Amino acid sequence: FAAAAGNGTVIIPAGVFTVSAATVVQSNTSVCLIGTLFIQNACNQPLFQIARSINIWFYGGGTLDLNGANQTSVNAYGMSLFNCSNVLIENISVINAYYFGISPTACTNVLIRNVTVNAFYVGVGLYATGLGFAGSGGVPSTNCWIEDCHIYNTHDVAISFYNGSVDCGARGNYINNCSYGISILTDTLGNPNSNGVLIESNTIIESTAAAISTLVSAPASGVHHNIVIRGNNVHDNPGNGLFLTS
């Protein structure tokens, strides 16, 4: 996709297109995804690799098929974003995830909205995860939000705030049949705990481990701060409704 070099618009038309390596997206790029991108067997790379970029927009109603049953690496993301800012991802679907559907790390000003994730895949590895923000190297993700998304059938977490999220949140999402619904977790030494996370007006059904959870585990230490959980609809969960430890 030539326009992924930056300062342009990539249009992926209707149809199914097999991808054999990660597409790098640079600053000031819009990606209009209308068709389906299918990651080939044993590709074990993200469909989109985005690092140190600004002003990125994904839209269009299309689908990322991650072909999870035929991947073996936790690098098999739908989108991997690192140290990016001003990112909008909306109105697309991610299916058959082996690991994260979309994972921004150490990013600022990211909004993921009206995205559907249906992991489907449960097999060797059992990593299937939905949407997650993360910190890295002591740098948190800041002002990152997940709103009005639908997430189904993840073996792990539907929405995660991992190793440091500041002024972030999840609002108005629908989560069904996921091991953990929404989780705030720090478990790596040197990364900050989360501060100022809002979990509001989400519907979480049939979580087998916990609908909403917070945790700081070794070798990390300390506590999360200013976590607000309100107005959520949690029901029919075989596991815990709330699991709050720090």
Question: pLDDT tens across 84-124, in order?
Answer: 999 999 999 999 888 888 999 999 999 999 999 988 654 44
Question: What is the average per-residue pLDDT within 55-72?
Answer: 93
Q: Cα–Cα distance between 184 and 5 in angstroms, integer?
A: 35
In the predicted model, is pLDDT for residue 188 greater than 50?
yes
Residue 122 is predicted with a pLDDT of 46
Give 151-180 pLDDT, tens digit per residue. 998 888 899 999 899 999 999 999 999 989
Q: Cα–Cα distance between 169 and 145 in angstroms, integer?
A: 5
In the predicted model, is pLDDT for residue 1 greater than 60?
no
Residue 117 is predicted with a pLDDT of 92
For the chain, the residue count is 246
Tell me the backbone φ, ψ of residue 223, rounded to 5 degrees.
Answer: -135, 160
Look at residues 177, 181, 120 and name the one whose alpha carbon lies nearest to residue 146. 181
Q: Are 56 and 86 within 8 A, CB to CB? A: yes
Q: What angle do CA 73, 74, 75 make, to 5 degrees?
A: 85
Sign of the Cα pseudo-torsion (102, 103, 104, 109, in order):
positive
Q: Cα–Cα distance between 154 and 139 in angstroms, integer?
A: 27
Q: Cα–Cα distance between 176 and 88 in angstroms, integer?
A: 24
Residue 128 is predicted with a pLDDT of 62
Q: Cα–Cα distance between 194 and 191 in angstroms, integer?
A: 9
The label of the residue with tokens 């991108």 reads 37
Rounded to two decimals, what is the model's pTM? 0.93
Sign of the Cα pseudo-torsion (119, 207, 151, 157, in order):
negative
Report percent pLDDT > 70 for the chain: 93
In the predicted model, is pLDDT for residue 227 greater than 80?
yes
In the predicted model, is pLDDT for residue 80 greater than 90?
yes
Distances (CA, A) of 75 to 59, 99, 136, 140: 23, 7, 16, 20
